[in-house]
Structure 1
Amino acid sequence: MLYYAAGGENTVIDDTELKGIIETVLKKLDAPEKVLALPPDMSRAHSQAGKITRYLYDYFGDTLTDIMPAIGTHAPMSKEETDKMFSGVPRDLFREHRWRKDLSTLGTVPAQFVKEQTGGRIDFDWPAQVNSMLTDGGHDLILSVGQVVPHEVIGLANYNKNIFVGTGGQEGINKSHFVGAVYGMEKIMGRADNPVRAILNYASEHFGSKLPRLIYILTVIGRAEDGSLPIRGLFIGDDHECFYKAAELSLKVNFTMLDRPIKKAVVYLDPEEFKSTWIGNKSVYRTRMAIADGGELIVLAPGVKEFGEDPENDRIIRKYGYVKTSEVLRLVNENEDLQQNLGVAAHLIHGSPEGRFSITYCPGHLSREEITSAGYTFADLDEITQRYNPDTLKDGWNTLPDGEEIYYVSNPAVGLWAVPERFS
């Protein structure tokens, strides 16, 4: 059922209207006795999910008993991040999703279905796993909050990804990411329908009845000329229609089709949002279809201090580096640690330029040796920032005083960029 759906390319839903819409929808529901909220973490703060979660707390009060950020394999939120993103919400309501344990398996998507969806590339089955709090927490309403935006693993983020990946388990997360990487992220990004989404939709349709009542609150966020990130659309519902309507608007708002390839792209990673290449490589994923053959991507990453958000993932990334897809697949066949961590294998594929363009990383807290051993070129952040200063660059094409032309992206998480020949 679709409870609310509105938005447009120039729509602005302000705080007052947002809160009013949410309260109006919640009043239509049977009064729940125990509510669980599933917002994203700090890496998706621009989703406005922190604000929405505060509105849920204001409305439900003590009935909202648990808030679990759907972090997937990301590092748990710090107290400081929680206080900043969810201002005004009591810290003692927050629960940590431990993706290697505390799990319930709702069912299994058969290997034959996975094989059909991937054109025969993958033939393993897929477990529909969620945090056991969703099944055993005694809640009668779950509210999943987040942003629909182009995504490298599942085409467009959120909806049931927030459930089966955001609160999912190691096997399910690893396999879903590997499916997307092997099928080809450039055939997935920006597409609402793709093999990974089909697998998750199968899980929702066949096993979703094992969960309490589940309602999605989905935003579509745009970028205004002044650099602000207004809500362009709001979609609230409990089925596929809610997602697909949000996805349709997201492609209009978040997708930029360029008339020519980028020879040099400069991407800035906000240090409060991007602390690892695991998340920071959105700079690679989201711009790769716009970068010219032989081009260069420069990543300004003042907050990046590690590769993986998890110690084991970090170790594996350091061990193998961001090599070509063919090399990753060979390494998977030969190494048990990659076989047991297919999500990391997928991440290595996602972060590889495949020899088509170069990537220069300018991290705030990683050494030259660490960056180069991972397969990237290192450059000093202060030196590069003197030439490509985020304070003076504007999003899009820029011509520097000496005539050099670059394309600047101030936040790769809010969009997808491509040229027609790489996006059909």
Structure 2
Amino acid sequence: MTSISALPPGLAASAARVGDAGTVLGDEEVTAFVTEQLTAHPFDGRSVCVLVPDATRTCPLPLLMRAVHGALHGRVTRLTVLVALGTHAAMTEEALARHLGYEPGRLAETYPGTVVVNHEWWKPETFADLGTVPATRIAELSEGRMDVAVPVLLNRAVVEHDVALVVGPVLPHEVVGMSGGNKYFFPGVGGKRIIDVSHWLGALITSAEIIGTSGLTPVRALIDDGAALIPAEKLALSVVTAEVADGAVDSAVDDAVPASAAGPTAETGSGLHSVSFGDTRASWASAAEVCAATHVTYLDAPVRRVLSIVPAMYDEIWTAAKGFYKVEPVVADGGEVILYAPHVTELSSTHPEIYEIGYHCRDYFVGQWDRFAGVPWGVLAHSTHLRGAGTYDPATGEERLRVRVTLATSIPEEVCRAANLGYLDPALVDPAAYAQDPDTLVVPRAGEMLFRLRTR
């Protein structure tokens, strides 16, 4: 077992919070809290970089951004909104407008004095060098699994502002345990090496052990170390979203098959249980407490099959795979997860290496490290996360996987099978019929709610 530490006593309590697991906040409550907290903080005469998620996270970003802008405009010298893409595709102006709540080309009318930019991770000049996490620290965090120094590169926009304000949700996450907080820096707007090392570290430990953990995981410790090198003051408004009710199969199917290429709106299913404000660690810890109670569903027994209805905000398998990560813990050995996403047409638009290596368990890569060490480690990690637990015998070349993964998407069958994934024609999928099968769990809007087996 990998060591996962408890958070420092009182860390979560040091953040201000409105709401809890039993509440759903109204817009006025959210706006009033954000306004009160930001008004009381010394932003005057300082520049602020606001880091926000891209469209692969459910979040009422227009509501939050209106409140943030209202509290900061006229007080700060500069206000920049930086979209934390990680290594996702850039958002177009039309997508940014929907995401943040303004008319395309009319940003200044809704958010005067504000600049909105994508994190251009593909450009070397994007980054500032903050230093290095030494190899000895990586060896400590990985319990000897890795021994590499990690350069800490970060988007210059964060370094060139006085304050970095993270605004976004906290959710169960396959690499870090619970997303949010300093994760918006790494991998959100961080350099490739720290992304690769952090993700491969998580893959070596395995998603099954990390996902949904609200303690201090080794990957969370690594990104906290990187964040400690950031010269800006680091604050966060960490939110916990209110999920679509279980059993909402029809509406989930509608969301999985968008009527147009416009994609989902930023406020789809966007109620909030809570909003926490403080430094990035305290705010995250406060929200993680709520998220652990709202975004984890417990089952008494494993199921043979899961039909994950993937929402349109995940437009390729690189992100749609979350529909597997969050349900694998409740699938019986030899069972199957079907990712139902007719709108998905490709594995990844930004990581072509995944087409070359396909999807395999961790031991498949570790057992052939000379062959795969040169593949970006973040790609290897993504591969293992979608195949879950398994074994590989170097002597025979046999890989045994715990569960089957089947794509019911618009990706051609030959591509699926070449990537070591199953194929099912999405036209043959009837979610309502699957819902009547006692051996099948149907998960509406899969990707954010984590399913676990209840321990006895």
TM-score range, shorter chain: 0.7 to 0.9
Q: Does 1:13 align with 2:13?
A: no
Kindly tell me: are residues 185 and 410 of structure 1, through their superposed partners in 2, closer, same or farther at Cα, counting changes over 3 Å? same
Q: Which residue of 1 aligns with 2:396?
A: none
Q: Which residue of 1 aligns with 2:222?
A: 199
- The Cα of 1:3 is off from its aligned counterpart by 5.1
- The Cα of 1:357 is off from its aligned counterpart by 1.2
Q: For 1:218-242, what per-residue CA distance to the aligned partner results, in whole angstroms no more than 9, with x for missing partners?
A: 0012325486452111111115222
CA distance in 1, matches of 2:314, 2:443: 14
Q: Does 1:258 align with 2:299?
A: yes
CA distance in 1, matches of 2:141, 2:373: 26
The one-letter code matched in structure 1 to 2:139 is K
- The Cα of 1:379 is off from its aligned counterpart by 1.0
Q: Which residue of 2 aligns with 1:22?
A: 34
The two structures, once aligned, show a CA RMSD in angstroms of 2.2
| SS of residue matched to 2:344 | coil
| SS of residue matched to 1:112 | helix
Q: For 1:253-312, what per-residue CA distance to the aligned partner results, in whole angstroms no more than 9, with x for missing partners?
A: 1011210001110111122x01111100001111111111111111111221221241xx
The one-letter code matched in structure 1 to 2:385 is H
- The Cα of 1:416 is off from its aligned counterpart by 0.9
- The Cα of 1:184 is off from its aligned counterpart by 1.6
The one-letter code matched in structure 1 to 2:340 is L
The within-5 A match list for 1:112-261 is 112-136=136-160, 139-192=161-214, 193-205=216-228, 207-208=229-230, 210=231, 212-223=232-243, 225=245, 228-261=269-302
Q: Which residue of 2 aligns with 1:59?
A: 71
CA distance in 2, matches of 1:10, 1:420: 21
CA distance in 2, matches of 1:84, 1:179: 35
| SS of residue matched to 1:68 | strand
| SS of residue matched to 1:232 | strand
- Structure 1 gaps of 5+ residues are none
Kindly tell me: are residues 295 and 335 of structure 1, through their superposed partners in 2, closer, same or farther at Cα, counting changes over 3 Å? closer
- The Cα of 1:33 is off from its aligned counterpart by 3.9
Which of 215-224 and 65-74 deviates more?
215-224
Kindly tell me: are residues 405 and 171 of structure 1, through their superposed partners in 2, closer, same or farther at Cα, counting changes over 3 Å? same
Answer whether contact 1:296 1:359 (CA < 8 A) is retained.
yes
Which of 50-59 and 355-364 deviates more?
50-59
Answer whether contact 2:169 2:180 (CA < 8 A) is retained.
yes
TM-score (norm 1): 0.88
Q: Which residue of 2 aligns with 1:319?
A: 356
CA distance in 2, matches of 1:83, 1:240: 29
Q: Out of 30, 34, 38, which is 2:47 matched to?
A: 34
Answer whether contact 2:276 2:283 (CA < 8 A) is retained.
yes
CA distance in 2, matches of 1:306, 1:50: 29
Q: Which residue of 2 aligns with 1:94?
A: 116
- Structure 2 gaps of 5+ residues are 1-10, 109-114, 249-268, 391-400
- The Cα of 1:331 is off from its aligned counterpart by 4.6
Answer whether contact 2:324 2:447 (CA < 8 A) is retained.
no
Q: Which residue of 2 aligns with 1:357?
A: 403
Q: Which residue of 1 aligns with 2:333?
A: 293
* Higher normalized helix content (fraction of residues): 1
The one-letter code matched in structure 2 to 1:381 is P
Moved over 4 A (4+): 89-92, 226-229
Kindly tell me: are residues 185 and 237 of structure 1, through their superposed partners in 2, closer, same or farther at Cα, counting changes over 3 Å? same
The one-letter code matched in structure 1 to 2:444 is S
Q: Which residue of 2 aligns with 1:328?
A: 365
Q: For 1:311-349, what per-residue CA distance to the aligned partner results, in whole angstroms no more than 9, with x for missing partners?
A: xx1x211111001212222454224641xx110011111
Answer whether contact 1:39 1:50 (CA < 8 A) is retained.
no
Q: Which residue of 2 aligns with 1:379?
A: 424
